Amino acid sequence: MDLDSILQQAKPIVQQAARYIQQMALKKDTLAVEEKFKNNLVSEVDREAEIILVDGLSELIDNAGFLTEEQTVEQTKQEWLWVIDPLDGTTNFLRGVPAYAVSVALMQHDTVVLGLIFDCVQNHLYTAIKGEGAFKNNIPIRVNENTVFEQSFIATGFPYYDFSKAQAYLKVFEYIMYNTLGMRRLGSAALDLCHVATGMYDAYFEYSLHPYDVAAGALLVQEAGGNVTDFAGQDGYIYNQQIIAGNQAIHTKILELIRMHFEV
């Protein structure tokens, strides 16, 4: 498979979905919104953007399967699998918080080999191919080199429907609050991972995520020289609903903290 060629063909498809989201942002107050489950909103924009992506991407690889958040297409697992979050940060989008993105990954068997994330507010395109580095608007990006925890800047996502591990989460939160430069909760896992890949954040962690939230962004962090694991320090971050991504040193520190408080 010529992944460079697939990436070049996927870019305009992702940009088309992002343009649609940008146009709809101007009339967001007129949209029909549903609550899929507790605190998880979806709008017609999520579904329409997904249809644009699925229509375009299904032309690129014969018989590729789809794992998509809105399930507008039959979900089939094949050797090649498109993993799509058409709008990551729906609550931000609906409330006008300027942080939401389109996230598309391609997996071969269970390995992410290609990722694209389009930041719909800043108009930045993040891309990575396994083994070929990570890029922001075609310029190479790297995780930062900070090794001092007290000077680290950490991103997270607060639990919002699965509160079973909230006490463990709050212990980790408390330690980070007292011992780092600060913490941010942006509301888009895909962008959090992009911002680790560029070095804006030293690390990011969250639980209760799905493959489509993290697949593209995890590859970006790895290709930018970072480390990505689940809460046990293993590589189950795509399917195990837990992720720690960061530069090598700060990833290790967050992993230590999480192991101390979570049952992993």
Where helices occur in the chain by DSSP H, the ranges are: 3-25, 44-57, 90-95, 166-179, 189-197, 211-223, 248-261
Residue whose Cβ sits closest to ligand IPD: 157
CA 97 – CA 110 distance, rounded (Å): 33
CA 236 – CA 256 distance, rounded (Å): 17
Q: Quick one: CA dihedral 42, 45, 46, 51, positive or negative?
A: positive
The answer to whether residue 211 forms part of the interface with ligand IPD (CB under 6 A) is no
Q: Which of residues 63-82 bind Ca ion (CB under 5 A)?
A: 69
Whose Cβ is closer to ligand IPD: residue 90's or residue 229's?
A: 90
Residues binding ligand IPD: what is the number (CB under 6 A)?
13
- Residue tagged 């639990």 (tokens): 159
**Binding mask of the shown chain, residues 3 to 42, with x at each position contacting ligand IPD by CB under 6 A:** -------------------------------------x--
Which residues touch 31 (CB under 8 Å, ≥6 apart)? 24, 43, 44, 45, 94
Beta-bridged to residue 83, according to DSSP, are: 67, 105
Whose Cβ is closer to Ca ion: residue 49's or residue 257's?
A: 49
Whose Cβ is closer to ligand IPD: residue 57's or residue 101's?
A: 101
Q: Could you count the other beta carbons within 10 Å of the beta carbon of residue 137?
A: 12
Stretch that binds ligand IPD, among 50-58, 124-132, 183-191, 236-244 (CB under 6 A): 183-191
Q: Which of 17, 64, 89, 105 binds ligand IPD (CB under 6 A)?
A: 89
The answer to whether residue 213 forms part of the interface with ligand IPD (CB under 6 A) is yes
CA 104 – CA 84 distance, rounded (Å): 5
Q: How far is the CB of 185 from ligand IPD (least distance, A)?
A: 8
φ and ψ at residue 108, rounded to 5 degrees: -115, 120
Q: Which of 85, 119, 223, 230 binds ligand IPD (CB under 6 A)?
A: 85
CA 13 – CA 57 distance, rounded (Å): 7
Q: Which of 48, 50, 85, 230 binds Ca ion (CB under 5 A)?
A: 85
Whose Cβ is closer to ligand IPD: residue 90's or residue 152's?
A: 90
Q: What is the DSSP-derived secondary structure letter of residue 92?
A: H
Residues engaged in binding ligand IPD (CB under 6 A): 40, 85, 88-90, 157, 187-189, 206, 208-209, 213
